[in-house]
Amino acid sequence: MDTDGSKTEEENVPIAAAVAGLSEEERVRLSEIRQRLEAHVTAFDGREMWYQERMLQFTGIANITTDEWGVRVRFESENFRTLTLSGRWDVLLVYSESLGAQYCGWSLSFECPLPELGTSYGRC
Protein backbone atom coordinates (compact mmCIF):
# COMPACT_ATOMS: atom_id res chain seq x y z
CA MET A 1 0.00 0.00 0.00
CA ASP A 2 1.11 3.52 -0.63
CA THR A 3 1.63 5.91 2.24
CA ASP A 4 -1.83 7.38 1.61
CA GLY A 5 -3.43 3.97 2.16
CA SER A 6 -4.34 3.28 -1.48
CA LYS A 7 -3.30 0.08 -3.21
CA THR A 8 -0.40 0.22 -5.61
CA GLU A 9 -0.82 -0.68 -9.27
CA GLU A 10 0.78 -4.07 -8.73
CA GLU A 11 -1.76 -5.01 -6.07
CA ASN A 12 -4.66 -4.12 -8.40
CA VAL A 13 -3.68 -6.71 -11.03
CA PRO A 14 -6.50 -9.27 -11.22
CA ILE A 15 -5.63 -12.95 -10.82
CA ALA A 16 -6.91 -15.29 -13.54
CA ALA A 17 -9.51 -17.77 -12.34
CA ALA A 18 -7.40 -20.72 -13.54
CA VAL A 19 -4.60 -19.87 -11.09
CA ALA A 20 -6.57 -18.07 -8.36
CA GLY A 21 -6.48 -21.09 -6.04
CA LEU A 22 -2.72 -21.51 -6.30
CA SER A 23 -0.23 -20.09 -3.83
CA GLU A 24 1.77 -17.01 -4.78
CA GLU A 25 4.90 -19.18 -4.93
CA GLU A 26 3.23 -21.59 -7.37
CA ARG A 27 1.99 -18.72 -9.57
CA VAL A 28 5.51 -17.28 -9.69
CA ARG A 29 6.94 -20.69 -10.63
CA LEU A 30 4.40 -21.10 -13.45
CA SER A 31 5.14 -17.57 -14.64
CA GLU A 32 8.86 -18.31 -14.83
CA ILE A 33 8.24 -21.49 -16.85
CA ARG A 34 5.85 -19.58 -19.10
CA GLN A 35 8.52 -16.94 -19.81
CA ARG A 36 10.94 -19.66 -20.93
CA LEU A 37 8.52 -21.71 -23.07
CA GLU A 38 5.72 -19.50 -24.41
CA ALA A 39 7.48 -18.12 -27.51
CA HIS A 40 8.48 -21.61 -28.62
CA VAL A 41 5.04 -23.11 -27.91
CA THR A 42 3.18 -20.39 -29.82
CA ALA A 43 5.43 -21.05 -32.84
CA PHE A 44 3.42 -24.28 -33.31
CA ASP A 45 0.13 -22.34 -33.58
CA GLY A 46 -1.67 -22.86 -36.89
CA ARG A 47 0.77 -25.52 -38.08
CA GLU A 48 -0.10 -28.95 -39.44
CA MET A 49 1.05 -31.56 -36.94
CA TRP A 50 0.57 -35.19 -36.01
CA TYR A 51 -1.56 -35.93 -32.96
CA GLN A 52 -0.60 -39.09 -31.09
CA GLU A 53 -2.11 -40.70 -28.01
CA ARG A 54 -1.63 -44.41 -27.32
CA MET A 55 -2.36 -46.21 -30.61
CA LEU A 56 -4.24 -43.29 -32.17
CA GLN A 57 -2.47 -40.90 -34.54
CA PHE A 58 -3.56 -38.57 -37.34
CA THR A 59 -2.81 -35.16 -38.79
CA GLY A 60 -4.53 -31.85 -38.21
CA ILE A 61 -4.05 -28.18 -37.45
CA ALA A 62 -2.99 -27.15 -33.93
CA ASN A 63 -4.64 -23.92 -32.77
CA ILE A 64 -2.77 -22.95 -29.61
CA THR A 65 -3.61 -20.43 -26.90
CA THR A 66 -1.67 -19.74 -23.73
CA ASP A 67 -2.44 -18.10 -20.41
CA GLU A 68 -1.14 -17.97 -16.83
CA TRP A 69 -2.17 -21.60 -16.26
CA GLY A 70 -0.72 -23.22 -19.35
CA VAL A 71 -1.49 -24.25 -22.92
CA ARG A 72 -4.77 -25.10 -24.59
CA VAL A 73 -4.87 -26.65 -28.05
CA ARG A 74 -7.84 -26.97 -30.36
CA PHE A 75 -6.74 -29.71 -32.76
CA GLU A 76 -8.81 -29.74 -35.93
CA SER A 77 -8.54 -32.69 -38.30
CA GLU A 78 -10.37 -33.60 -41.48
CA ASN A 79 -9.98 -37.25 -40.48
CA PHE A 80 -11.24 -37.15 -36.91
CA ARG A 81 -13.36 -35.04 -34.60
CA THR A 82 -11.94 -31.80 -33.21
CA LEU A 83 -10.02 -32.36 -29.98
CA THR A 84 -9.36 -29.99 -27.10
CA LEU A 85 -6.05 -30.63 -25.35
CA SER A 86 -4.42 -28.85 -22.44
CA GLY A 87 -1.41 -28.94 -20.17
CA ARG A 88 -0.22 -26.77 -17.32
CA TRP A 89 3.14 -25.03 -17.82
CA ASP A 90 4.95 -27.32 -15.40
CA VAL A 91 3.93 -30.58 -17.14
CA LEU A 92 4.62 -29.54 -20.74
CA LEU A 93 7.20 -31.38 -22.81
CA VAL A 94 8.48 -28.90 -25.38
CA TYR A 95 11.03 -29.86 -28.02
CA SER A 96 12.11 -28.32 -31.32
CA GLU A 97 9.71 -30.47 -33.36
CA SER A 98 7.05 -31.51 -30.83
CA LEU A 99 4.84 -30.58 -27.91
CA GLY A 100 3.18 -32.78 -25.31
CA ALA A 101 2.13 -32.99 -21.69
CA GLN A 102 3.34 -35.41 -19.04
CA TYR A 103 0.60 -37.41 -17.32
CA CYS A 104 -1.88 -36.35 -20.04
CA GLY A 105 -0.78 -38.82 -22.71
CA TRP A 106 -1.03 -36.59 -25.79
CA SER A 107 1.69 -35.26 -28.06
CA LEU A 108 1.87 -33.20 -31.23
CA SER A 109 4.79 -33.46 -33.63
CA PHE A 110 5.76 -32.44 -37.15
CA GLU A 111 6.84 -35.97 -38.07
CA CYS A 112 4.66 -39.08 -37.88
CA PRO A 113 5.52 -40.52 -34.43
CA LEU A 114 4.99 -44.21 -35.25
CA PRO A 115 5.02 -44.71 -39.04
CA GLU A 116 4.71 -48.47 -38.64
CA LEU A 117 1.18 -47.98 -37.22
CA GLY A 118 -0.08 -45.76 -40.01
CA THR A 119 -3.53 -44.34 -39.29
CA SER A 120 -7.07 -45.49 -39.71
CA TYR A 121 -7.22 -43.03 -42.60
CA GLY A 122 -4.16 -44.05 -44.63
CA ARG A 123 -0.44 -44.45 -44.10
CA CYS A 124 2.10 -41.97 -42.74
Taking only the tens place, the pLDDT of each residue in 34-81 is 999 999 999 999 999 999 998 889 999 999 999 999 999 999 998 889
Give Cα 112 distance to the centre of its chain. 19
Quick check: 3 pLDDT over 60?
A: no
pLDDT over 50 (residue 9): no
Burial class (CB in 10 A: 0-12, 13-18, 19+), 49: buried
Q: What is the pLDDT of residue 34?
A: 94
Spatial distance between the Cα atoms of 39 and 110, rounded to a whole number of angstroms: 17
**Greater pLDDT, 18 or 3:** 18
CA distance 74 to 82: 7
* Average pLDDT value for the chain: 85
Choose among 62, 61, 116, 117: nearest CA to 86. 62
